[in-house]
Amino acid sequence: MIRTIKKIVAPMQRRVRLMIGRGIITLVNDATKEQSVQISLLEGEVHDHVERYQEYGFSSVPHAGAEVITVSVGGNRGHSVVIATGDRRYRMKNLGAGEVALYDDLGQSVHLKRDGIALTSQRVTIDAATTQVNGTLTVNGNLTSGGDISSGGNITAAGSVIDTTGNTPHHSHA
């Protein structure tokens, strides 16, 4: 009797054990509506055209070698989907409790720290009709403008004050 029950239950046990898996990405196709990947799961088990789900508003193309967590829909390994991706080779480390970061393999990052936001990149391009900064803006380096510069107050450059109120400009030595 027990042998018969085990024989009946064994296929279900195998399917349940194989429903969630770990694997490695070997190829990525980002041209499809839902990104698809080729993954290697168990020894010699390769799956092509596996859908990789990403959170709305976030998109990435992982490198080959990134790790995945898969779910086999209905316990069918032939119908797996990737629900999580990580790559320990590039992961930012030593974040504080509650901190969040968006990063890539080049060391670029947006780090939401406890005391502010840190943006790290060799170049930042802002493509917007209007950009507004509320508060003090400090530029450590050169500032170049391809257009007019307007000010509602005085502009001081190398000790010289440019009076924008219409009064005669004056020179001060601080």
Does residue 142 lie within any of the structural domains? no
Residues 53 and 95 in one domain: no
Residues 77 and 103 in one domain: no
Across the range 55-67, mean pLDDT stands at: 96
Residues 73 and 12 in one domain: yes
Higher-confidence residue of 87 and 2: namely 87
Q: Do 112 and 101 form a contact (C-beta atoms < 8 A)?
A: yes
Q: How many domains does the chain have?
A: 2
pLDDT of 162: 79
Using only the alpha carbons of the chain, give its radius of gyration: 28
Residues 66 and 119 in one domain: no
How many other β-carbons are positioned within 10 Å of the β-carbon of residue 35? 20
pLDDT at 36 over 70: yes
User: Over the stretch 64-84, which tens digit does the pLDDT of each residue have?
Assistant: 999 999 999 888 888 999 999
Q: Do 62 and 28 form a contact (C-beta atoms < 8 A)?
A: yes
Does residue 161 lie within any of the structural domains? no
Range of 82's domain?
2-86
